[in-house]
Structure 1
Amino acid sequence: MTTFPAVLLDGVTRTYRSRAGEVHALRGVTHAFERGTFTAVMGPSGSGKSTLLQVAAGLDRPTRGDVRIGGKPLGPMSQTALTRMRRTSMAFVFQSYNLLDALSAADNVALPARLAGRRVDRDAVRHALGQVGLAEQARRRPAELSGGQQQRVAIARALHLQPEVLFADEPTGALDRASGRQVLQLLRSLSDEQGQTVVMVTHDPLAASYAHGTLFLADGQVVGRLDRADANQIAAAMSELER
Structure 2
Amino acid sequence: MTATAPSYPSVVPESAPALVLDGITKTYRSKAGAVDALRGVTYHFPRGSFTAVMGPSGSGKSTLLQCAAGLDQPTTGVVVLGGVTLRGLSEVALTKLRREEMGFVFQAYNLLPSLTVYDNVALPLRLTGKRPQRAEVHAVLEQVGLGDKVKRRPAELSGGQQQRVAIARALITRPSVFFADEPTGALDSNSSRQVLSLLREATDRAGQTVVMVTHDPVAAAYAERVVFLSDGLIAGHLDRGTPGQIAAAMSDLER
Aligned to 2:224: 212
Q: Does 1:228 align with 2:240?
A: yes
1:98-109 pair list within 5 angstroms: 98-109=110-121
Alignment partner of 2:173 out of 161, 168, 176 = 161
Q: Aligned partners of 2:198 and 2:229: how far apart in 1?
A: 25
Q: Aligned partners of 1:129 and 1:177: how far apart in 2?
A: 21
Deviation at 1:76, TM superposition (A): 2.1
Deviation at 1:124, TM superposition (A): 2.1
Q: Aligned residues, how many? A: 243
User: Cα deviation per residue 1:136-166 (whole Å; 9 max; x = unaligned)?
Assistant: 2222222222211111000000111111111
Alignment partner of 1:44 out of 48, 56, 61 = 56
Q: Does 1:193 align with 2:193?
A: no
Q: Aligned to 1:135, what secondary structure does the other structure show?
A: coil
User: Cα deviation per residue 1:192-241 (whole Å; 9 max; x = unaligned)?
Assistant: 12212111100111110111110100010001100100100000000010
Q: Does 1:2 align with 2:13?
A: yes
Alignment partner of 1:114 out of 122, 126, 134 = 126
Q: Aligned partners of 1:179 and 1:86: how far apart in 2?
A: 27
Q: Aligned partners of 1:113 and 1:194: how far apart in 2?
A: 19
C-alpha root-mean-square deviation of aligned residues, in Å? 1.2
Q: Aligned partners of 1:66 and 1:93: how far apart in 2?
A: 23
Aligned to 1:176: 188
Aligned to 2:83: 71
Deviation at 1:115, TM superposition (A): 2.4
Letter in 2 for 1:32: H
Q: Does 1:141 align with 2:171?
A: no
User: Cα deviation per residue 1:41-97 (whole Å; 9 max; x = unaligned)?
Assistant: 000011000000000000011111110111110012111100111111111111111
Q: Aligned to 1:136, what secondary structure does the other structure show?
A: coil
Deviation at 1:103, TM superposition (A): 1.4
User: Cα deviation per residue 1:155-195 (whole Å; 9 max; x = unaligned)?
Assistant: 00011111111100100111111111111111112211221
Q: Aligned partners of 2:18 and 2:136: how far apart in 1?
A: 22
Letter in 2 for 1:85: L
Q: Aligned partners of 1:124 and 1:51: how far apart in 2?
A: 34
TM-score (norm 2): 0.92
Aligned to 2:65: 53
Alignment partner of 1:96 out of 108, 122, 137 = 108
Letter in 2 for 1:103: L
Q: Aligned partners of 1:123 and 1:89: how far apart in 2?
A: 22
Structure 1 spans left out of the alignment, 5+ residues: none
TM-score (norm 1): 0.96
Q: Aligned partners of 2:74 and 2:153: how far apart in 1?
A: 39
Aligned to 1:35: 47
Q: Aligned to 2:205, what secondary structure does the other structure show?
A: helix
Q: Aligned to 2:123, what secondary structure does the other structure show?
A: helix
User: Cα deviation per residue 1:25-44 (whole Å; 9 max; x = unaligned)?
Assistant: 11111101111111110000
Deviation at 1:125, TM superposition (A): 1.3
Letter in 1 for 2:19: V
Percent identity between matched residues is: 65
Letter in 2 for 1:151: Q
Q: Does 1:13 align with 2:25?
A: yes
